[in-house]
Chains A and B, each alone.
Chain A
Amino acid sequence: MRKLVKLVAIAALAAGLSTAAHAEDPFIIVQSTTSTQNSGLLDHILPMFKKKTGIEVRVVAVGTGQAIKNAANGDGDVLLVHAKPAEEKFIAEGGGVKRFDVMYNDFVIVGPKSDPAKVAGSKDAAAALKKIAAAKALFASRGDDSGTHKAELKLWKDAGIDVKAASGEWYRSTGSGMGATLNTAAGMGAYALTDRATWISFQNKNDLQIAVEGDPMLFNQYGVILVNPEKHKHVKVKEGQQFIDWLIGVEGQNAIRSYMIDGQQLFFPNASAEGMKKAG
C-alpha cells in the first residue's frame, strides 16, 4: 500500500511536469499592452501571422511601463507598446534595436451621462480637464505608469492642474489596468481617459459615455521594437524580426485595418513607407 502511494505520487508528478519540458513549435514572446489584447486585435491578427510563418506569438499583456521593464530584463523578444518617449528612452538605454511606427488610434475621455463637469461634446481635452478639476468631479486614473497613464498625466500638465494634490479627493488613482479602471469609473460615476479600442470592446459601460474626443492631443501611437540581442543573447532575432517585418509590412497593416467591432475600425495602421517597402 505504501509503495503504491509512492508510485502514484511519482507518476502524477512526472505527468504534471512533463509538458513543461517537451519540444514546442517555434515561438516568440511579445511584451505588449492590455489595449491590444483586451480589444481583441491580437486574437484577430496573430492567427494570420502563425498561418503564414508557423511562428506562435505568446503575448504578455501588461501596462506599457511594466512591458518595457520586462523587455529591459530580457523577458521577451519583441515589445509592442504605446508611449513613444518611453520607447525612445528604452532604445537609448540599449534595451531595443530600432523602433517602428505600427498603428494609431485615439484616446477619449469618458464620463457619466449626468456630466457633472459639463464637458460632453467638447473637442478640447485640456479645457475639459480644467472643468473637471474646477467642478471637483470624480476622475478615475490608471495610476500604473502605463501608456494611457503617461498620456493622461501629460494632458493634466498641459491643463496646468496638479492632480497629485487632489489624489484621494476627486482624483482617484486606481493603480490598475484599463479594464479595472473603467469598471471603477462605471461603479463610481467618474470620468476616465481610455483608448478608444478598449472602450469600444468594453462590456460594462453602465451609464458611461464618450464625453471628449477629436482633440489632436488625444492621438495614440503604437510602436514595435526588437529587444536588443547584444544585451540579451537568447533573443530570437530571426523570428522576432520576422514578426516585426510582417506587422509593418503590407499584410500586417491590412490585418490591423480589417479588425472591426460593430462596424467600427479600432486601430489605424501607419507604418512608414520605409517599413512597408522593407517588408514588402
Chain B
Amino acid sequence: MSDSGSILTLALSLVLSGDAELWSIIGLSLRVSLTAVLLACLIGLPLGAVLSVARFRGRGAVAALLNAFMGLPPVVVGLAVYLVLSRSGPLGVFGLLYTPAAMIIAQTILVTPLIAALARQSLADLHGEYDELFRSLGLSATEKVSALIWDGRYSLSTAALAGFGRAIAEVGAVIIVGGNIEHVTRVMTTTIALETSKGNLALAMALGIILILLALIVNAAVMALNRTARRLAYA
C-alpha cells in the first residue's frame, strides 16, 4: 500500500503532466454535473420559491416529501433512468442510454429536490421578512416569486453549490446510465471506481484528491463571484 506522501505526489504529477485523457475526463465531469445543476436550478429554484409563498392544504406534506427526496439514492435513480431510457423502455427510441445526456438527466433528477428544498427553506425565511412589503405593494404571485429569487440569490447560490457537490461526487447513477465508456461517458468518479477495481489504489486515491480539488475550485469561484457582485451592487 502506498503512503499518503506518494499519493499526493502522484496526484500532483498527474495534474502537472497535462495528461490529455485526464483533462478530458475532468472536462466531462464538469460539463455533466454543471449542466445538471443548471437544469436543476431552473426547475428547483422556482419550485422552492412557489412553495415558500403559496398557501395551500398539504403544503407541509409537500415540503416533507421534498426534504426526504434530498436523500434519493443515486443507484436507484440510475436504475430508474436506465429502465426509462433503455431500448426496451418508454423513451428507448431516442437512443440516449450510454450518452452524457443520460448522465445529465440522472443527475438533474438527483439534484433538483435538494436545490428545491434548500431554496424553499431559505426563501420561506425571506418571505417572512418581506410579507408586509409585498402586501403593501400588491404584488402578483409571479412577481413575488421572482423578487424572492432575486433577493435571495446569494443564499440560493449555496443551494446550487450543495447540488453541485452531490452531482460531481456521485457514481451510482452515472455508472449505470453512462456505462463508464472510455472517451464517451467516463467521468472522475467512474474512473476512480474502475481504477479501484483494477487494484490501482494509489492512482484511484490520487484521482480522488484531484476531484476534491476540483470541487474546491468551483466553490471558491462561486464565492468570489458572489463577493464581486455584492461589491458592485453596493458601489
- Of the residues B38, B100, B198, contact of A12 by C-beta under 8 Å: B38
Interface residues of A in 62-81 (CB under 8 A from B): 70, 73-75
Instruction: Say whether B180 contacts A205, CB under 8 Å.
Output: no
Instruction: Say whether A75 contacts B198, CB under 8 Å.
Output: no
**Bound Cα distance A205, B179 (Å):** 27
**Bound Cα distance A103, B201 (Å):** 30
**Within 8 Å CB of A180, what residues of B?**
196-197
Interface residues of A (CB under 8 A from B): 2, 9, 12-13, 15-17, 19-21, 29, 34, 38, 43, 58-61, 70, 73-75, 177-180, 182-183, 186, 201-205, 232, 234
**Within 8 Å CB of B88, what residues of A?**
73-75
Interface residues of B (CB under 8 A from A): 31-32, 34-35, 38-39, 41-42, 86-89, 92, 95, 97-101, 104, 150, 179-182, 184, 194, 196-201
Instruction: Say whether B198 contacts A179, CB under 8 Å.
Output: yes
Interface centre among B97, B182, B184, B198 (most CB of A within 10 A): B198
Shortest C-beta distance, B41 to chain A (Å), equals 8
**Within 8 Å CB of B89, what residues of A?**
73
**Bound Cα distance A42, B194 (Å):** 14
Kindly report which residue of chain B lies nearest to residue A37, judged by CB atoms. Answer: B194
Instruction: Say whether B97 contacts A75, CB under 8 Å.
Output: yes
Instruction: Say whether B87 contacts A73, CB under 8 Å.
Output: yes
Instruction: Say whether B100 contacts A75, CB under 8 Å.
Output: no
Instruction: Say whether B181 contacts A60, CB under 8 Å.
Output: yes
Interface centre among A21, A60, A186 (most CB of B within 10 A): A60
Kindly report which residue of chain B lies nearest to residue A198, judged by CB atoms. Answer: B198
Instruction: Say whether A16 contacts B31, CB under 8 Å.
Output: yes
Shortest C-beta distance, B80 to chain A (Å), equals 14
**Within 8 Å CB of A179, what residues of B?**
196-199
Instruction: Say whether A12 contacts B179, CB under 8 Å.
Output: no
**Bound Cα distance A70, B42 (Å):** 33
Instruction: Say whether A75 contacts B98, CB under 8 Å.
Output: yes
**Within 8 Å CB of A15, what residues of B?**
31
* Also in contact, A75 and B181, with CB within 8 A (given A179-B196, A204-B201): no
Instruction: Say whether B100 contacts A19, CB under 8 Å.
Output: yes
**Bound Cα distance A234, B93 (Å):** 8
**Bound Cα distance A62, B87 (Å):** 18
Kindly report which residue of chain A lies nearest to residue B97, judged by CB atoms. Answer: A75
Instruction: Say whether A201 contacts B197, CB under 8 Å.
Output: no
**Within 8 Å CB of B97, what residues of A?**
75
- Of the residues B41, B101, B198, contact of A17 by C-beta under 8 Å: B101
**Bound Cα distance A131, B101 (Å):** 51
**Bound Cα distance A73, B201 (Å):** 34
Kindly report which residue of chain A lies nearest to residue B103, judged by CB atoms. Answer: A20
* Also in contact, A202 and B104, with CB within 8 A (given A13-B35, A59-B181): no
- Of the residues A43, A60, A74, A202, contact of B199 by C-beta under 8 Å: A202
**Within 8 Å CB of B31, what residues of A?**
15-16, 19
Kindly report which residue of chain B lies nearest to residue A40, judged by CB atoms. Answer: B198
Instruction: Say whether A17 contacts B104, CB under 8 Å.
Output: yes
**Bound Cα distance A51, B101 (Å):** 27
Given contacts A59-B182, A203-B201, 13 further A-B contacts (CB under 8 A): A12-B34, A13-B35, A15-B31, A16-B38, A29-B181, A38-B197, A58-B179, A58-B181, A70-B86, A74-B87, A75-B86, A177-B197, A234-B87
Shortest C-beta distance, B75 to chain A (Å), equals 12
9 contacts between A and B (CB under 8 A): A13-B38, A16-B32, A16-B34, A61-B180, A73-B89, A75-B86, A183-B196, A183-B197, A183-B201
Shortest C-beta distance, B143 to chain A (Å), equals 13
Q: List 5 tightest A-B contacts by C-beta distance, closest first.
A: A179-B197, A16-B35, A204-B199, A74-B87, A20-B101
* Also in contact, A16 and B87, with CB within 8 A (given A38-B197, A179-B199): no
